[in-house]
Amino acid sequence: MTVTRRQFVKLTAGGLAGSSIAALGFSPARALAEVREFKLARTSQTRNTCPYCSVGCGVILHGLGDGSKNARTEIVHVEGDPDHPVNRGTLCPKGASLLDFVQSPHRLRVPEHRAPGAKEWTPVSWDWAIGRIARLMKDDRDRSFTARHGELAVNRWTSVAFLAASASSNESGYITNKVIRAMGMTALDNQARV
Burial bucket for residue 40 (CB in 10 Å: 0-12, 13-18, 19+) = middle
Shortest Å distance, C-beta 73 to ligand SF4? 22
Could you give the CA distance from residue 61 to residue 48 in angstroms, rounded to a whole number? 7
Beta sheet of 185-190, edge-to-edge order: 146-149, 152-164, 185-190
Shortest Å distance, C-beta 92 to ligand SF4? 3
58 is a site residue for ligand SF4 (CB under 6 A): no
95 is a site residue for ligand SF4 (CB under 6 A): yes
Shortest Å distance, C-beta 62 to ligand SF4? 16
The number of CA neighbours under 13 Å toward the Cβ of 148 is 3
Contact residue for ligand SF4 among 76, 92, 183, 192 (CB under 6 A): 92
60 is a site residue for ligand SF4 (CB under 6 A): no
Could you give the CA distance from residue 80 to residue 59 in angstroms, rounded to a whole number? 4
Give me the residues that bind ligand SF4 (CB under 6 A), please: 50, 52-53, 55-57, 87, 91-92, 94-95
